[in-house]
Structure 1
């Protein structure tokens, strides 16, 4: 019987969903949302904070600041509440109302940026606000998940080894690219432990992470308006970009089977299905996709017919992807 003292001590690390029904290809979805933060970001938040504590950067009552589209902000909020730190999360208008409410319930001060930087978009504007707070009189401490090695080290130590332990014959892994912490940690571990594994990064259309043009995005999580500093493309074999309407359709297909996942998961699964259809005609590859989050915080967006129609100009409610197949 597990007994814990702090929320970051608990995480389900060996739960997989068999998604062969989705595309005919064997895909095992590693579910990372079963912890008190509801997402994979708890691993990175715990490592970054622990590293800062060991280095003596954090004292009792320290004030933290971080930029987040939601999940990292929630993860830091949990740990900050447990450790007695004050925390300011700088987010933007794409952050779901549920995520903002949860952070505030944990005692976090939430700053919402609404005007994008003319070059670097909403993320650039968020980072400018973070720097202002860091350099201000209150002396906020910025963990900087975009450059902090603890972000990827957490997954080098946990997520990567967990996948290979569960699937020793792993052929290909699909990892979402947001801050690229999960991507870099798993890719670095697999390059060392089993170099034959193909690492496929899944990004959103409109993200600049891998050098593609910027365009507006409405779903928080994956994608970036500023290239993350911790990204090293030498560890990535291929990149698949997924348009947001396909993310929504995939989430709806999963929910039609009773699996309510978040937008990042829908993007990763859509990318995995597309890649396997193009590259695994014999359907023999052992494939794992990492699910970063659950879907309860997206009920007013991805799972809202009105929001989907207003945002993308198409009637996703009428899409066959929202209805369960008889097969």
Structure 2
């Protein structure tokens, strides 16, 4: 058993869940929620903070500031508390209440923006606020997860090798796309690996990350209201967009089997199971990445009033019956965008 003195020193990176008994397809889920920050964002947060410390950007009197829909904010709150920095998280009204309270419990200040940007999201408004803060006081240090190479380097060094070590015959990897840090770190690692791995990026309908039309998105985590600056589509073989209703159904289906995961995980698993169903083979080894667990979503995607108010009665108390393996009936609700590697 490890003994640690700093919360970011522990991160369980070797746990995988076999989802075949739930979905009837050969899919392994890499669980990234077992650390004190509760999500995969701990890796990027730690890499970016340590890099800023090494190059002298972060000083004892610095005030960390970052735009986050939730999980990175929690990770930075935890690290800031451990290292003695002040931290201000700029988030928006989609941020789960439990996430906001957790950041505040860790000693961070949370600013919530409510005005939409030109693409119908909140990111542009959040970034404007961060830039204004940095211009007002030189003590503010913005790590900028959207442009910081430490975001993808963290996954190049950790997440991808962890997957490769357990699945040397990996055929397909499904990665949710927000800032594109996890996607690009894993894609770069597997591009030069000893065997080809199909990289499937998963996005939310309403996100413009891959050039789609902007639309309402109520589940935080995946999707962007701008093109992610870190994204290089030459590393991506295919993009699948998932409707939020399918995200919720998938989350509830896993919960009925005892696995409570967050919205981003539901989106990625929904895309992966649909992709495997359409390709109709059991010979592939496929892995999907689960960014976090589900406790922070109890008042949203697992709450009847929230579901009813946003999506209608048909999603309330939904407990879908198990489908036959390789059922293709839901494939029309996704928007696959196939790419071939040049």
TM, length-normalised to structure 2 = 0.92
Which residue in 2 is equivalent to 1:40? 40
C-alpha contact (below 8 Å) 1:305/1:315 kept by paired residues: no
Which residue in 1 is equivalent to 2:117? 117
Which residue in 2 is equivalent to 1:246? 246
What is the CA-CA distance between 1:138 and the residue it aligns to?
A: 5.1
Distance in 1 between residues matched to 2:140 and 2:310, nearest whole Å = 35
Range moving further from structure 2, 261-270 or 310-319: 310-319
TM, length-normalised to structure 1 = 0.96
- Count matched residues: 325
- Gap runs ≥5 in structure 1: none
Distance in 1 between residues matched to 2:284 and 2:324, nearest whole Å = 26
- Gap runs ≥5 in structure 2: 326-342
Distance in 2 between residues matched to 1:73 and 1:233, nearest whole Å = 27
Distance in 1 between residues matched to 2:297 and 2:23, nearest whole Å = 24
Which residue in 2 is equivalent to 1:193? 193
Seen in structure 2, the aligned counterparts of structure 1 residues 78 and 300 have a Cα distance that, compared at 3 Å, is same
Which residue in 2 is equivalent to 1:150? 150
User: What are the superposed Cα offsets for residues 129-183 of structure 1, whole Å, 9 maximum, x if unpaired?
Assistant: 1111111135311000000000000000000000010000000000000111000
Distance in 1 between residues matched to 2:58 and 2:278, nearest whole Å = 48
Seen in structure 2, the aligned counterparts of structure 1 residues 325 and 206 have a Cα distance that, compared at 3 Å, is closer
1:317 and 2:316 correspond:
yes
SS of residue matched to 2:136 = coil
Distance in 1 between residues matched to 2:172 and 2:95, nearest whole Å = 31
C-alpha contact (below 8 Å) 2:119/2:226 kept by paired residues: no
C-alpha contact (below 8 Å) 2:61/2:139 kept by paired residues: no
1:298 and 2:304 correspond:
no
Matches within 5 A, 1:7-18: 7-18=7-18
User: What are the superposed Cα offsets for residues 243-273 of structure 1, whole Å, 9 maximum, x if unpaired?
Assistant: 1011111000000001000001000100101
What is the CA-CA distance between 1:70 and the residue it aligns to?
A: 0.2
C-alpha contact (below 8 Å) 2:151/2:181 kept by paired residues: yes
User: What are the superposed Cα offsets for residues 188-237 of structure 1, whole Å, 9 maximum, x if unpaired?
Assistant: 00112245100000100000000001101000000010111111001110
Distance in 1 between residues matched to 2:165 and 2:22, nearest whole Å = 24
Distance in 2 between residues matched to 1:245 and 1:61, nearest whole Å = 45
C-alpha contact (below 8 Å) 2:120/2:216 kept by paired residues: no
SS of residue matched to 2:214 = coil
